[in-house]
Structures are given as C-alpha cells and as structure tokens.
A and B are shown apart, each in its own frame.
Chain A
Amino acid sequence: MKRVGVFICHCGSNIAGAVDCEKVAENAKSFPGVAFSTDYKYMCSEPGQELIKKAIKDHKLDRIVVASCSPRMHEPTFRRCLESGGLNAYLLEMANIREHCSWVHPDDKEKATWKATELVRMAVAKVLKNEPLQRSTIPITKRALVIGGGIAGIQAALDIANAGHIVDIVEKEPSIGGKMAQIDKTFPTLDCSACILTPKMVEAANHPNINLITYSEIENVEGYVGNFDVTIRKKARSVDMTLCTGCGTCMQKCPTKVPSEFEMLMTDRRAIYTPFPQAIPNKPVIDRKNCRYFTTGKCRVCEKICPTKAVDYTQEDELVTQRYGAIVVATGFDLFDHSVYGEYGYGKYKDVITGLHFERLINASGPTMGKIKRPSDGKVPKDVVFIKCVGSRDEAKGKAYCSKTCCMYTAKHATLVREKIKDSNVYVFYMDVRTPGKGYDEFYTRTTDQFGAKYIRGRVSKIYEKGDKLIVRGEDTLLGRPVEVEADMVVLATAMVAQPDAAKLAQMVGFSYDQDNFYTEAHPKLAPVETHTAGVFLAGACQGPKDIPESVAQASAAAAKACGLLSKEEMPTEPIVSCVNEAICAGCGMCVPVCPYKALDLKVIQERAHGKTITRKVATVNSGLCQGCGACTVACRSAALNLKHFTNEQILAEVDALCL
C-alpha cells in the first residue's frame, strides 16, 4: 500500500493570501493513497523541510507531494530533502499553486482554493505511479576540441590549456589567426592588430597542452557530452611537417602565381605558400588546384630546391579520430556578398572595395606596404567615401540584423585616412551611428570633431564612373536633399554573415542555428555561451556579429564552461530517459528517425518462443544520449517506448484525476 504525504505551503501570504491552504490540506486527506496531509508557512525553509523528513519517518510515507511554488524553482530543494529523509528523489511531485494559482487568481478565494485542490489531486495521482530512479554517472574524457583558430579559438584554447587540460585546435586554413590577422589596427585604441594577435598565436603554438591541427576540417562528430568521438580530416599539405624548417626557399622559387586570399586577391602568392609571413605554423602547404606539378605533371621545382627534402607529392588526406570531453565552436564569420547591390558597382569599378580590402591597403605588411593607394591606378586617393550598412539592416536585399562592428571600423578607417593623407576628404554615408562600448563613442566623436570626417545621414542610390573619379549619388536625409560626392575610392562596410558551411557543422555536431545560420545559444541572457547540446560551447562571431573584445570575452567564458566540465572525473546523468518494453516492441524502427539525439537504434535479440529460438529486432535506447524529450514514445505504435518519470500511465493518471 502506497502512502503519500501531502504538504501545502503558504509561502507566507503569497499562496495563503488567495488560497485556503488548511482547506486544501484537509481536502487532500480524502484522495486515494494519501496517508498524511498538512500545511505550513514556509515549506522550503529549514523547519519546513524538517517537517517533511519527520513525517516520512512518523507516518511511513513513501511518496511526497509538495504544493508550493513552481517546480522550476524548488524541485531540486525538495528532491534533496527527500533524499536526506531516506526516500528516492524521484518519488516527489510538486503542485504549482503559486505561479499557476494564487498569483494569477488573487480575487476569487473559493475558485483558487478549488483549483489548488485539483492541482494537488493531479500531483497525488501522478506520484502514486512514480518509480524510484537512479542517476548514473559517465566518465569524462579530459581533452577539449576547439573548432576554429581565430582569436576566439586561440583565446579559448589558451584558457583551457592554462587550466591544465589538453586542447586540440582544428583550423581549416594553413595558419591560425583568422580574420584578426588581416586587420591593421583595432578600435578604439588604434593599437596594431598583429602586435596583439601574433604573441597569442605563438603562445598557443608553444603551449605544452595545445596541439595545432591546421589545414584540417571536422569530418564527423559522434557521441555526447564528456565523450565526443570526432573524426578530423587532415588535408594533404604535400609538405612533411617534421622535416620542413620553414626556410621559405620553395616559396621564392615556385613558378606559379595565384591571387592571395589573405591579401584579398590584391597581390599574388605562390602555389606553395604560407598565407602570411607571420603564419603559425610557418610551414608551407601546396595548393594542389593551382600547383604546376599537380595540374600538368611537370615542374617539381620545390622538391628539388628543398634543402631538407620535406616536399612530398604523394601525401594523402588523413582521417584521425579522437575522443573529447568538450567542444568549443569558434568558427567565426564571413563577409556578406555585396554584389547584390548592383548600384554600388562592386566588381565593375576597381576602386569600390570592402572594409577588409581597406584593412590590407593600410596594413604595413599589406600589398602597398601601408600606403593607401587605390587599386585601379595606384594613385593616392584624396576623396574617400565610406558606405555603412551594406547588407546589414536591410531585410529586402541583405540581413535584418545590425553587424555591430561596422560603425566602429568605419570610424577607424576614416580616422586613418585623415591621419595618413593630410589633404584628404572623408565622407561617411550612414543610417545610424551605433557606438556602444567602452571608449567607442569618444572615438567616433574624435573622428568627426578632431579628424573632420564628414558624416552624411542617408543611403547611396548610385555610384558611377566619370573620368577617373567615382560619382557617389545619395541623399542627405537630414537636409532632405540629394547629394553628389566625387570620390577617388569607395569603401563598403559589408555585413558580417555566418560561414558558408556553418549549418553543415552545426548539423554534424548537433546544435541549433538561427535563420541567418548563426549558432543559437542555450539562453540569450543566462546561457550565452552554451548550446542546447550539453558539452558544446560557443565563442566569437559564429554566434552572431561581434568585435574583438566581445569575442575574446566570450571565448574565455566558453573556456570556463569547458573547464568546469573537464575538471570532473565523471558526471551524473539525468535518469529521465526513454525505456523500451522489449516484450511488446515490434521492431518497426519508427522511433529511430524521430530521435533528435540519435539515441535510438535497433538491436537483435534472441528469445525462446513456442519451443524455438527466434531472433528479432527491438528498439534500444542509449541512455547516455537520450535527453528525455519523449518524442519517441508518441511515435511508438505499440506503446513499447515509455519515458521514465513522465510515463503514459503517469500522464493519464493526471488527466483522469483532473477530470473526476
């Protein structure tokens, strides 16, 4: 005979003000299975919990219903109370008579009391069917994977490595560094990007706990928190990393020239190359698509010239599988394809460039050695027009969101143009100027007041060539009249968008992304670096447009979360998972594709029936993967699948109790 104890909380006057708690406790005594019922002022308080523990002992209670606030608030509290009172934590049910009753029905005590009674009756009916559940534990692999070797990935890896855990950074390019390596100066301090990034790159490369896996991509991810099995494709570099000393002779002698992606195609690299001189690892790879040997079968210059015989044309892609406890995703962003804005003439006019092109033009290590020269004829531009929100905040052609960084980097570019070219004129077409951030607005004010950049509020409708000038035609919406600016060069502040393969990676690892393919955090405010997939964390602009300080902060936050996981030997698992009644499972497999966590599978069992041994298929649940959503239980046609703690019988008992 099951003996249920019912405890009605007054929550001071929060509940008792609208609900007659004594009456609810009195009513509860008549419910089937209830052996004890009482009310108390604060059930969650120490004496309240003692009251429950004492009642468990005195009245030999084996199931408890607490009617109080939301279980989202105090379920863990009362579960602990049950455990210390000698009962299994899952023999508790809560009736939410505060948020769902007293607080929303303050004026009708009779009805509120009746509703509270019914909610308690439902909870009693359910708890009678509760079963004790055991939390199990799974071991945690003490190794972290960071996907992406930009500033966010490097920072996350350094923090995890400094906490004493092994970290692998997987980067698809031949060098770590990401977009920040291309940038010249950083706002609002105007310190040089390379000067603050390259030491971190070196630190990561030399750290005993960090392994750099560059020129590699994630091929497959299986498993779950604590134990992800990740397959990494190490693309063939055609250069033996152990033999190569990075002397660079091959890069000088290679006869094939290819536009350099790092320099935004403004200058050439060779077919055997490192993306930039400060690359880490500073050892070249052969770009097989463009290499003369790989395309025509003749050349082999680099092989002949290499003093250590490191060039190896026979190398093949290598697949390695490694187990990780936690994954930090820091894959960064890409730039919006602004060719949709035909009116800006990108591609048609050489002197219409993007912000990242401009970064290379003003970079001392860039194609022009830091001298601002316009791409068409190498002349120093005198009149420079910047156009903001190219692709951002434009639902019709671009993206609905604000890319967040463009206002500041355009102000930075404007400042640098005025600083480097004394007699220049800078015009900035803008929709709004958004400068939240420490020292940001001061920087913008300096750009306009001290450096004299002319900000024009309005959109540009057309750019066309006239002689060697570009005519920028737009509207000044503050003056309410059209404006025309003669420019030598136009710089577009293109939107930050998700990486082209962002969705593919998210599907592979198994977390969600939004309509713009940016990765979705578990909670926009309270879990900004977690994903809904336990053990997978987000850092940097893959989650949404971010500047460098924010990316770094988020990377450290993600690292802290990963370390929290890796510092434990094992972790408890929630026992609310699906289970299979093999006796009635027909093995149809309908449940398998329904599961979002790949926790369901079919297995073959042998059993004796009618004097014969038969083998048949039945569903099986991997309780380590199952998150307890219950989708499979509804898909199951023979009702062989059930979700523990939310079984069909429990929910039906609640429904029945409500409808009495």
Chain B
Amino acid sequence: MSVKEAQANWEPKILVFACNWCTYAGADLAGLSRLQYPPNVRVLRVPCSGRVNPQFVIRAFQRGIDGVLVAGCHPGDCHYVTGNYFTRRRYLLMQRLLQYVGVDPERFQARWISGSEGPKFQQVVKEITEQIRAMGPNRKLRDAQ
C-alpha cells in the first residue's frame, strides 16, 4: 500500500473510557436498541470516570490514538457520589495542557451519558468520530515509530 493509499484509507481510532454504571450501560443500551454508529470507537470499562488518570490519556495519545473520550454519569448522579466532579476538573485541565503542547484540545473530550441514554451515546460517538476525522491523524503526540 502506497503512502497515499494509506492516507486515503485512514480511519480515526477513538478510545472511550466508560464508567461502569452509566456510560457503559448507555453503550449497552445503544447495542440493545440496535443504534448504529461508526466502528471507530473502542470502549474501555472503568469503575468510575474518576478512575481515569490523565496518564492513561497521554499514553493513548503517545501510542497513536486519534481521540479520547471520557464519559461518566451526569453531575450529581455519580454512583460513587463525587467521582465525576473530579473528572470534570481534570478534563478542563487536560484540555489546557493539550492546548499548551500544541494539540487540538478537542481530541480529548468528556461527556455525561447515563444508563438510559443509548441514543445519546450513539449521537456522541457519531459527532466525535466526525470531528476527529476532520482533524486528521494524531501526529503531534505520537511516539516516533
């Protein structure tokens, strides 16, 4: 495959950190309701969105992921009472860090998707896939290969 072809066939790869209680259940519901979305996302289950260490996100970018979504329960609905408030603060900080190092901060996003919001999960995945596709592959943070 030539370089040009590889570029033409490029598909974004997006990592979704989904909390076990809300977003993972929401993604399950999207499946149960047969709501189709682009196959570019990979859901990684964590107990709480507050478990997501910014280190995980940076590592994913270094290994060449094109976008990262952290998704959890709506504020006030956290299964662990306050976990998603930490997520919210870290998300804002992370976006500023990404901006500082010259990466489009929109490559890293956070969303609140509850267990009953299958359609919202579908919508978010569609939107983010298109956004990341428009940005093109992540070259800036990727380790030299």
Chain A bound to chain B: yes
Binding site for B on A (CB under 8 A): 70-73, 96, 98-101, 103-108, 111-112, 114-115, 118-119, 122, 512, 514-515, 532, 576, 594, 596, 627-631, 633-635, 643, 646, 648, 651-652, 654-656, 658-659
Partner of B46, one of A70, A73, A651: A651
Binding site secondary structure of chain B: mixed
CA of A630 to CA of B53 in the docked complex: distance in angstroms?
A: 10
Contacts of A115 in B (CB 8 A): 39, 42
B81 in contact (CB, < 8 A): yes
Contacts of B80 in A (CB 8 A): 596, 627, 629, 631
CA of A99 to CA of B35 in the docked complex: distance in angstroms?
A: 10
Contacts of A629 in B (CB 8 A): 47-48, 50-51, 79-80, 83
B124 in contact (CB, < 8 A): no
Within 8 A of A (CB), among B12-50: 13, 15, 20, 24-25, 27-28, 30-32, 34-37, 39, 42-48, 50
Contacts of B31 in A (CB 8 A): 70, 98-100, 103-104
Contacts of B64 in A (CB 8 A): 659
Contacts of A72 in B (CB 8 A): 20, 24-25, 28
Task: Report if A99-B44 is in contact (Cβ < 8 Å); known contacts: A111-B39, A655-B56, A659-B60.
Answer: no
Task: Report if A630-B36 is in contact (Cβ < 8 Å); known contacts: A596-B80, A596-B82.
Answer: no
B45 touching A659, Cβ below 8 Å? no
List, sorted by A's number, 27 A–B pairs whose CB atoms are closer than 8 Å: A70-B24, A71-B45, A72-B25, A98-B31, A100-B28, A100-B31, A103-B32, A103-B34, A104-B31, A104-B39, A104-B122, A108-B39, A112-B39, A118-B42, A119-B42, A122-B44, A596-B83, A629-B47, A630-B50, A630-B51, A634-B90, A643-B47, A646-B46, A648-B56, A651-B46, A652-B59, A658-B15
Interface residues on B, range: 35 or more
Partner of A634, one of B13, B39, B51: B51
Interface centre among B27, B45, B65, B90 (most CB of A within 10 A): B45
Partner of B47, one of A101, A104, A108, A646: A646
Binding site secondary structure of chain A: helix
| Whole-angstrom distance between the Cβ of A533 and the nearest chain B Cβ | 9
CA of A118 to CA of B45 in the docked complex: distance in angstroms?
A: 14
| Whole-angstrom distance between the Cβ of B73 and the nearest chain A Cβ | 11
CA of A630 to CA of B31 in the docked complex: distance in angstroms?
A: 27
Contacts of B27 in A (CB 8 A): 99-100
B59 touching A633, Cβ below 8 Å? no
Chain B window 95-139, contacts with chain A (Cβ cutoff 8 Å), 1 for yes, 0 for no? 000000000000000000000000000100000000000000000
B44 touching A648, Cβ below 8 Å? no
Contacts of B69 in A (CB 8 A): none
Task: Report if A107-B36 is in contact (Cβ < 8 Å); known contacts: A72-B25, A98-B31.
Answer: yes
CA of A104 to CA of B118 in the docked complex: distance in angstroms?
A: 11
CA of A594 to CA of B82 in the docked complex: distance in angstroms?
A: 9
| Whole-angstrom distance between the Cβ of A592 and the nearest chain B Cβ | 14
- Sample of 20 further A-B pairs with CB below 8 A, known A70-B31, A512-B81: A73-B28, A99-B27, A99-B28, A99-B30, A99-B32, A104-B30, A104-B31, A104-B36, A114-B39, A532-B81, A627-B80, A630-B83, A631-B80, A634-B52, A634-B86, A655-B15, A655-B65, A656-B59, A656-B63, A659-B60
Interface centre among A104, A628, A634 (most CB of B within 10 A): A104
B44 touching A651, Cβ below 8 Å? yes
CA of A643 to CA of B45 in the docked complex: distance in angstroms?
A: 14
CA of A171 to CA of B44 in the docked complex: distance in angstroms?
A: 47
B2 in contact (CB, < 8 A): no
A631 touching B51, Cβ below 8 Å? yes
B63 touching A659, Cβ below 8 Å? yes
- For residue B19, which residue of chain A has the nearest CB? A629
CA of A659 to CA of B12 in the docked complex: distance in angstroms?
A: 12
